[in-house]
Chains A and B, each alone.
Chain A
Amino acid sequence: NAGVTQTPKFRVLKTGQSMTLLCAQDMNHEYMYWYRQDPGMGLRLIHYSVGEGTTAKGEVPDGYNVSRLKKQNFLLGLESAAPSQTSVYFCASTSSPGDRVLPQETQYFGPGTRLLVL
C-alpha cells in the first residue's frame, strides 16, 4: 500500500516547455487535489476532482490543466511553462463521500514534485 505517489520528484524546464505531473493513489479515494506550495504562502489549491471524469478549478488554476481519466490517477499539465510556475507541487486525496470538499476529511499527501522553470 504505497498511499499517494508522485512522478517525477524533480524537474527543470525551460520557459515555454510543457510537461505533465502524475499523481497516483491506491486507497480508492474519490477526491483528488493538486496544490502548489511557495515560500510564505502555504498551500494553494490549483485544481481538484470529485470523481473519475470530473475536474474543477481551485484558487490558482491559470496556466494549468488537469485530467482524471482513471479513479486512481490525477494528472496536472503545464502547456507552456513560465518562471512563475516554479514551485513545489503536491497531490492529495481524500475519501470524501458527498458533493463537496470538506476540511475535516483527512487529506493524504504525496511527497511532492519540485519544479524549476528557467
Chain B
Amino acid sequence: LAKTTQPISMDSYEGQEVNITCSHNNIATNDYITWYQQFPSQGPRFIIQGYKTKVTNEVASLFIPADRKSSTLSLPRVSLSDTAVYYCLVGDPFSSYKLIFGSGTRLLVRP
C-alpha cells in the first residue's frame, strides 16, 4: 500500500509564504499528485495537481521532484481565509481502489 506523511499542523502569519510537504512512497507511476483544501464543516475541495516539476495556478504552486517521492504545496502570501486542513492525494499501484489521502495538515494563519 502506498503511504503518505504530512506534518500534523503548521502556524503562519498573514502575508507569509507557506510550504506544506507530503512524503509519499510507492505511488502509481503514471498518476498525478493532487492536493485538497478543507474548511470546518465542509467537504474537501480541489486546489492543484501535478505530475512532475512545478505547477502554478491562481491559488497555489505545487513542486514535485524528479523522483516523485514527495510534493510541496506552496501558498503565497497567506491570509486568514487560508486557515484550513490540506490533504495530498496519491494513487496506489498495489490496491484495487488506488486512492490514498494523506492524514492532513492543519494550517492556522494568525493576524
Tell me the A residues contacting B by CB distance below 8 Å: 4, 33, 35, 40-45, 48, 56-59, 90, 92, 100-104, 106-107, 109-112
Contact = CB atoms under 8 A, between A and B. Distances in A.
Interface of B: 8, 28, 31-34, 36, 41-46, 49, 87, 89-91, 95-99, 101-104
B55 to A, nearest CB: 12
B45 A109 contact: yes
Given A103-B34, A104-B34, A59 B97 contact: yes
Main secondary structure of the interface of B (DSSP, over half): loop
A79 to B, nearest CB: 22
Given A103-B31, A103-B32, A104-B32, A43 B44 contact: yes
Contacts, number: 67
B43 A104 contact: no
B15 to A, nearest CB: 29
Given A40-B103, A41-B103, A42-B87, A102 B98 contact: yes
Given A101-B97, A103-B90, A104-B31, A42 B102 contact: yes
